Amino acid sequence: MSTDTDRRDQLRANLSRVQDAIAAACREAGRSPDSVRLIVVTKNFPAADAAVLVEEGQTDLGENRDQEAAGKAAELAAQGLTPSWHFVGQLQRNKTRSVASYASWVHSIDRTRLVDALDAAATAYGHSVNSLIQVSLDGDTSRGGVTIADLPALADRVAGAQSLRLRGVMAVAPIGWEPRKAFELLAECSRTVRNVEPAASEISAGMSGDYVTAIGCGTTMVRLGRNVLGEREPMA
């Protein structure tokens, strides 16, 4: 058996195990399994892995760095593979043009200047970008996210943008917090955003270590890397 076949079998098994675990967590929470979307975060793994995942039926892939994401999106497109790309990392204004060219979702909108730049880029391409506002739940914005105090104004700004569709909120549980406390606070942030845009009901929360808790707290998008792909080695 070739290494490629081994890797495909491994990814298929991991994907199926994670799908089952998501379905079980949904049942446990009294939710429908199709109320949670799995985004597999392929950062630090090669385009070949991303291609296998798409061939195995995974439709949503996430990346956190533009350079890596742009390359993978192009490689997959060249093979006729067109997953929905989710940009989940901190975003610089000078990368918005590139990101808007391949990402159908951006999870990390956290300041007005970014809103304006991404909106201008999407408008230039003539398409719209599904936009989530990243919230810093503990108020420390050094790893991205808007403070809860500034969330309503930013939501207004995204809702008013020509080519951005306000779809909801995203967060990473702060280090040292009980995940449940983080995800319950994010659910409150979701209500704030739905006061601005009632259809913006997506909640992007839950990573490999805490997604079951996130599902119990109402998340609609889990972002899983290690659980599907294995432990990350820095890419050469």
Residue number closest to ligand PLP, CB atom? 225
40 binds ligand PLP (CB under 6 A): no
174 binds ligand PLP (CB under 6 A): no
65 binds ligand PLP (CB under 6 A): no
In one letter, which amino acid is 65?
Answer: R
What's the closest the beta carbon of residue 64 comes to ligand PLP, in angstroms?
A: 4
- Count Cα atoms within 13 angstroms, Cβ side, for 65: 8
Distance (Å) of CA 12 to CA 16, 167, 188: 6, 30, 36
The 3-state DSSP class for residue 136 equals: coil
11 binds ligand PLP (CB under 6 A): no
Q: Which of 145, 168, 218, 225 lies at the binding interface for ligand PLP (CB under 6 A)?
A: 225
Q: Which of 207, 214, 215, 221 lies at the binding interface for ligand PLP (CB under 6 A)?
A: 207
Nearest to 223, CA basis, from 88, 103, 130? 88
- The region of 4-12, 69-77, 154-162, 217-225 touching ligand PLP under the rule CB under 6 A is 217-225
What's the closest the beta carbon of residue 135 comes to ligand PLP, in angstroms?
A: 13
CA Rg value for the chain: 17
Distance (Å) of CA 132 to CA 3, 66, 174, 188, 221: 38, 17, 18, 15, 11
Total residues in contact with ligand PLP, by rule CB under 6 A = 13
Answer yes or no: are the C-beta atoms of 62 and 39 closer than 8 Å: yes
- The region of 1-9, 94-102, 181-189, 219-227 touching ligand PLP under the rule CB under 6 A is 219-227
Residue numbers of the site for ligand PLP (CB under 6 A)? 41, 43, 64, 88-89, 172, 207-208, 223-227
